[in-house]
Each structure stands twice: as C-alpha cells, then as structure tokens.
A and B are shown apart, each in its own frame.
Chain A
Amino acid sequence: MNEKGVNHVIAAKGITVAFKVGSILSKSVMFAVDHVDLSIPEGRTLALVGESGSGKTTLGKTLVGIYKPVEGSVYFRGKDVSKMNKEEYMKYRLKCQYVHQDPYSSLNPYKTVYHILAVPLKAKRLVRDTTEEREVVNKALEEVGLNPQVYSSKYPFELSGGERQRVSIARTLIVKPEFIVADEPVTMLDASLRLDILDLLLDIQKRVGLGMLFITHDLGIAYYVGGDSGEIAVMYLGSIVEYGPADKILNKPLHPYTQALLSAIPEPDPERTRSKRPIQLRNSEPPNPLKVPKGCKFSDRCPFVINQCHESRPQLKRVGDVQVACWLY
C-alpha cells in the first residue's frame, strides 16, 4: 500500500475498534472496525463505501482521533499517533478534521455563524487581533460561497441545510487542515444542492492539497468524487473487502459484495437501469454486526460461496490493479 516517494498524510495499520454492547445479562463485543489497513496520499481522495453497520463512520472518526483503536495504529505523516508527545498530538488533532453528516445538529444553535468560525481561531491563537480574526472569518465564508455581509450574523436556524453544511465545511477549513473526513456530507441535503457541495469540496481539495476520506453509501457519489484519480475502499462488517482505483472497481468489481451492490443500485436512465439483472444473495436480510459468520464475513449471503469461505477469513490480496479479500481469487 505504501508507494515510494508519495507523501501519505494519513495511514492506518491493522486498526481495530471495538465496542461493548449488550445488557447486564448478556455482554458481548462488537468489532466495528476489524484489522483495517489504508493510506491516503496528500491531495488525493479515498471514497469509503459501505452500508449502515459496515463501520465506515467509526473508521472515519478513528482516523481523526475521536475513537482510539484497541489494536493497530493510526499514522499522521508517518508518525504513530499513540507515540506522539503532547505538542505533536495537538497538531495532529488540529490538522485532521471531520465534516458531519447531519447539518442540523453540527452547528451550535445558540451562536452566530461568525462566532462559530471565530472560536477556534481565538482558542488556538491563530490570529493576533480582532481585525485579523474578522478577515480570516470573512475569507473562510467566501471560500465556501457564502457572502460574509449576509451570513456572519445569522444563527443556524436561519440557514438551509445546504448553507449549514457550507458553514460546517468553512469551520473545518479555518484551521488549515491537511486531512479531512467528509462523512456522508450530502446525504441529508436536497438533490439539486448536492453536486454544488461536492464540487466545493473537490475544488478546495485541489487548491489546498488536502487528503480526503469521503464516506458514502451511494456508489454514484463515490464515482463522482473519486472517479478521476481517486481510490475506493468497499467496507463490509468492519473489514475492507475491495480496495483500489475507483474507476477500475466501479466498472469491473471483483468482490461478490461489490458486484451485488453495483447490480442493485438504480441509475438515472430508464433503459440502463431496467435492463440490469440484480444479483440474488442467498440471505436477503441485512447482516447483524453481532453475529458475524465464521470464516469470510460474507459467506452466509454470497452466491459464489465455496467450502474454504466457511473455514477461514480471506485477507486482501493484489489482483491486477486492485486488492480483493476473497477466496475466489
């Protein structure tokens, strides 16, 4: 995974994040993220695709430090995060930011847009005085397409979902991050506003040279964001099952789960979408993160299952340009 000469802004080696679940009577452990390796170069995008329960949000939050892995390590610019001193750790946390999915709960409803953006500047002493602070805040608003004269003094309840999301993005940009996790940033927005926000993120990434982890369940959006030069990682029950260049995987998926997903999604073209033959899975119910099958996690639903799938768990293996975790290869 590590290409020589390329600056990786964030990397994960074998990280596992576990949660205790259950009542007093029956406790068990759920592995939301299960021995995941990945790395994201500067200025590039990794689209993380998965359904609910796949662990994608947990993985994203772990990379920015909200959760701590029980096994494995997160590396920021090559340095192990758990071995950093206080100063380095503070820098890591500041340089890695996160855009929330729900624009209706990601902004403090009691403060104005100006205050929301100014607080991190004041707290981290990134500006010298009020004049500079005002300049920086205004510039951040302009960068996300909002007129500072109009929006500075507004409260979140006066903004639409799209505007709130822009403020949220401005807030992450104001601390000059090097890596951003965008967690389903457009899922809760109206359709006609989505591409504007996606274009905004891609534009900013190009200008600033950010590394980006883009979490989504929508393969069409994953293609829009990563299609040109980005990579895609498909997650299932905490593990990455396919990983590689986005256009290769989305046009010719190797893993049965990716194939099932691609064959199941509808497309905005009646002729194409009605001639698709969705792959039938052996078990039609969504997977239960607490009852993971032995061996390959997909073995209870995979239509191509063989004996070996029940016995041991396949690891990611290189097949051409992509990596797949499947015994069929």
Chain B
Amino acid sequence: MTITRGSESMNWLITLFRKFYVSIAILTSTAQGKMGFIITLFTVLIALCAPLFPYPGPKWSNPTLQFALPSTSPSLWYILGTDYLGIPLVLDVIWGLRYFLEIGIIAGALTISVGTLLGLLSGYLGGIIDRTLNFAFNLVLTIPTFALWLVLAVIFRSGSPIILGIILGILSWAGLARSIRAATIGVKNRDYVEASRLLGLSPLSVIVSDVIPAILPYIVMNFVLSIVSGFYGAMGLAFLGLIPFSNINWGAILNAAFYQDAAIFSLSGTVPVLILVIIESIILLGLIYFANASVNVFDPRARRQVEIKLAIREESR
C-alpha cells in the first residue's frame, strides 16, 4: 500500500517537473525569450541572495569617497564606484534590486488580483453588476495616476516597500480590469463555454475551466508589466524627492547625482547615472522580453510540440 501511494505522488512530482521543463523550453525557444529568461532569472537570484551581501548602511558611509569613480581600492566592493554617501554602488544595486522587486511584486499582485477578479465578475455576470463595475473602471481610469502618486507619497512620506507597492498599484488595476472584462465577454460567447453551462457546471467551474485559461496570457503579461511600472514609479518618486531618501533607492542616487554633483556636466556625477541607467534598462528589458515570451507558454500547440520532442529524445535513449 505504501509503495503505491509513494509512486503516485512520485508520478505527480514527475509530471510537475515535466510541465515545468516544457514551460522553460518554450520560454527559451526564441532569442528574445532566452535573453528575457536569463536576465529575469539573474535578477530574481540577486534579489533573493541580497542578504548574503553586506547591507549598504551607515557603517559603509564615507564622506570622502562621495561619488568616487570605479576602482579596486580601497577594496573590490568599490568596483562600480560610490553613491552620494560614499557607500559602494554595487551594494546599492544589489539591495536596490531586492527593494524594487518587492515593490513591483506587491504592486503587481494588487493590480492583477483586484483587476482580474473585478474584470471576470463584470464580464461574466453581465447585467447591472457589469454596468456598475464598468462605470467604476472608467471612473478610476480618469484619475491622473501620477498626480495621485504624488499626493499619496507626500501624505504617507514612507519608503516602506509595502506602502509604496500599494500606492503604485492603487490605480493600475482599472486598465487590467477593462481588458479582462473584454476578454471574458469574448470567451463567454464561445460555443464550448455554452456547452459547459449546458452540462450544468457552476459559474465558478466554468470560469476556472474555460475562461481563465484563455485569459492567463493577459494576466501574466500584466503582472510583469506592473512590476516594471512599479520599478519606474518608485524610482521616479525618489528622484523627485517625494519620498524619504534612501540610498538603496536608485532614484535617490540619481537625484543626488544631478542636484548635488551636477551630473552630465561633471564626470563624477555622470558615471553613477550611466551605470544605474544601463543596469535598470537591461533588467526592465529582460522583464519585458520575459513577459512577451511567457504568452506562448499557455498555448497547447506549442506545449505539444515540445512534449513530442521530449518524448522522442527519451525514446532514443
């Protein structure tokens, strides 16, 4: 008895690994996808491993080394130079990545959970619920996002990733909700959904089985794009000085580089700006490529092709 149960859960685990492998294979099947996957993986790893590195706190601060150029002295930590406090930039980058990713994920989670839920309800249930919710979406969309961010940032005056995440995600759900609503209405009218309802399946079952697989690409795309937007939002607010300065927020470093050290006009100001902008561009590009490539992961046709290749390789061993 124990043996059978064991092998059943082993089978289940193997199936899971298989599915995972297929997804990765599809993600990396294009050049864009490969790049996106590698960059995203790298970024996430760094963010997770940040605690292995020293925190760029006051202990590292050194006024004499403000905006120093990259060098290997006094130690390897100074390989990218320093920030406005004289702290090694490399530590700011590592911990900043973690910080921004936290904010982005919170903003993203807020956006897709509220947006998907309301969009699904509105699209699937129709009638007065749809009319009310749709009105709400359109209303929220008219609120100027950036203005609201400014106001909220000043009110809360916090650098905490959770608060920032919420502020940055607070309006973006409306756009997603509208897309999801449109997609749901489109799927709702398809014959196979009608067939499910004919078989007496509950609305929840129909939504989970028939509607969500069709809209998953939208959801994943939007999640990644929310992370990107959260990234920029947090950097932007710090750059404008609307949230408390923190050296792990690259926006703050950019702000200091421009206003304290006349970046563009002076070498010591320009270098950190360039470094940060290049790193951030690569990361965000990687995320976007990842989002693009992720759409195909849900396509049964693409999955089947990979599964067949996998099966052929296994046969020939």
Q: Is A124 touching B200 in the complex (CB atoms < 8 A)? A: yes
8 Å CB contact of B191 from A65, A105, A110, A120: A105
Tell me how far the C-beta of A131 lies from the nearest C-beta in chain B, rounded to whole angstroms.
13
Is B266 interfacial (CB 8 A cutoff)?
Answer: no
Which B residues between 261 and 308 are near A, CB-CB below 8 angstroms?
298, 300-301, 304
- B214 close to chain A: CB less than 8 A: yes
Q: Inside 8 A of A124's CB, which chain B residues have their CB?
A: 199-200
Which one of A29-37, A91-99, A133-141, A223-231 is at the interface?
A91-99
Is B192's beta carbon under 8 Å from chain A?
Answer: yes
Q: Which residues of B contact A158 (CB under 8 A)?
A: 304
B198 at the interface (CB under 8 A from A): yes
Residue of B at shortest CB range from A112? B300
Q: Which residues of A contact B195 (CB under 8 A)?
A: 98, 100, 106, 168, 171
Q: Which residues of A contact B191 (CB under 8 A)?
A: 100, 102, 105-106
Interface residues on B, range: 20 to 34
Chain B min CB distance to A185 (Å): 12
Task: Assess whether B201 is interfacial by the CB under 8 Å rule.
Answer: yes
Task: List chain A residues, Cβ under 8 A from B214.
Answer: 110
Beta-carbon contact of B201 and A110 below 8 Å = no
Chain A 142-166 interface residues, beta-carbon cutoff 8 Å to B: 155, 157-158
Q: A94-B200, A97-B198, A123-B202 are in contact. Are A107 and B304 (CB under 8 A)?
A: no
Of B190, B196, B198, B209, most buried by chain A (CB within 10 Å of CB) is B198
The answer to whether B201 and A119 touch across the interface, beta carbons within 8 angstroms, is yes
Q: Give the shortest distance, in Å, between A27 (CB) and chain B (any CB).
A: 18
Interface size on A, residues (CB 8 A): 27
| Bound Cα distance from A119 to B200, whole angstroms | 11
**A110's contact among B197, B200, B205, B298, by CB below 8 Å, is which?**
B298
Docked Cα-Cα span, A109 to B196, in Å, equals 13
Asked if residues B192 and A106 are in contact (CB atoms below 8 Å), the reply is yes
Q: How far, in whole Å, are A105 and B209 apart by their CA atoms in the complex?
A: 15
Contact in complex: A64, B192 (CB < 8 Å): no
Asked if A123 contacts B300 (CB within 8 A), the reply is: no
What is the 8 Å Cβ interface bit string for chain B, positions 168-197, against chain A (1 contact, 0 not)? 000000000000000000000011101111
A282 touches B (CB below 8 Å): no
**Which residues on B sit within 8 Å (CB–CB) of A123?**
199-202, 205
Nearest chain B residue, comparing its CB with the CB of A174: B199
**B57: Cβ under 8 A from any A Cβ:** no
Q: Is A90 part of the binding interface, using a Cβ–Cβ cutoff of 8 Å? A: yes
| A308 interface residue (CB < 8 Å to B) | no
In the complex the two chains form, is B199's CB within 8 Å of A175's CB? yes
Question: A123-B205, A155-B300 known; A93 and B192 CB under 8 Å?
Answer: no
B130 within 8 A of A: no
A48: min CB distance to chain B, Å: 18
Query: Are B304 and A108 closer than 8 Å at their CB atoms?
Result: no
Distance between Cα atoms of A93 and B298 in the complex (Å): 32
A109 to B197, CA, bound (A): 16
**Complex: chain B residue closest to A155, CB-CB:** B300
A-side contacts of B199, CB under 8 Å: 94, 97, 119-120, 123-124, 171, 175
Chain A residue numbers with a CB within 8 Å of B197 are 66
A109 to B194, CA, bound (A): 14
Residues of A close to B51: CB separation below 8 A = none
| B300 engages A157 (CB within 8 Å) | yes
Separation of A4 and B77 alpha carbons in the complex (Å): 96
B213 sits at the interface (CB 8 A): yes
A294 at the A/B interface (Cβ < 8 Å)?
A: no
Residues 56-100 of A, flagged 1 when their CB comes within 8 A of B and 0 if not, give: 000000001110000000000000000000000010011001101
Chain A hits for B205, CB < 8 A: 119, 123
* Interface contact B300-A109, CB-CB below 8 Å: yes
Pair B200/A120 contact, Cβ less than 8 Å: yes
The interface residues of chain B lying within 8 Å CB-to-CB of A252 are: none
Please give the distance in Å from B23's CB to the nearest CB on chain A: 14
B190 partner residues in chain A, CB cutoff 8 A: 105
In the complex, what residue of chain A is closest to B300 when comparing beta carbons?
Answer: A155
Contacts of A98 in B (CB 8 A): 195, 198
Chain A residue nearest to B193 in the complex (CB): A108
- Report B310 CB to chain A, min CB distance, Å: 14
Most buried by A among B191, B210, B304: B191
Closest Cβ of chain B: how far from A258's Cβ, in Å? 30
- Measured CB to CB, the nearest residue on chain B to A94 is B200
Residues of B within 8 A of A107 (CB): 192
8 nearest CB pairs, A to B: A110-B213, A106-B191, A120-B199, A105-B191, A100-B191, A155-B300, A108-B192, A123-B201
28 residue pairs bridging A and B, Cβ less than 8 Å apart: A90-B200, A93-B200, A97-B199, A105-B192, A106-B191, A108-B192, A108-B209, A108-B210, A108-B213, A109-B300, A110-B213, A110-B300, A111-B209, A119-B199, A119-B201, A119-B209, A120-B201, A123-B200, A123-B205, A124-B199, A124-B200, A155-B301, A157-B300, A157-B301, A157-B304, A158-B304, A171-B199, A175-B199
Beyond known contacts A110-B298, A119-B205: 9 more, CB 8 A cutoff: A97-B198, A97-B199, A105-B192, A109-B192, A109-B300, A110-B214, A124-B200, A158-B304, A175-B199
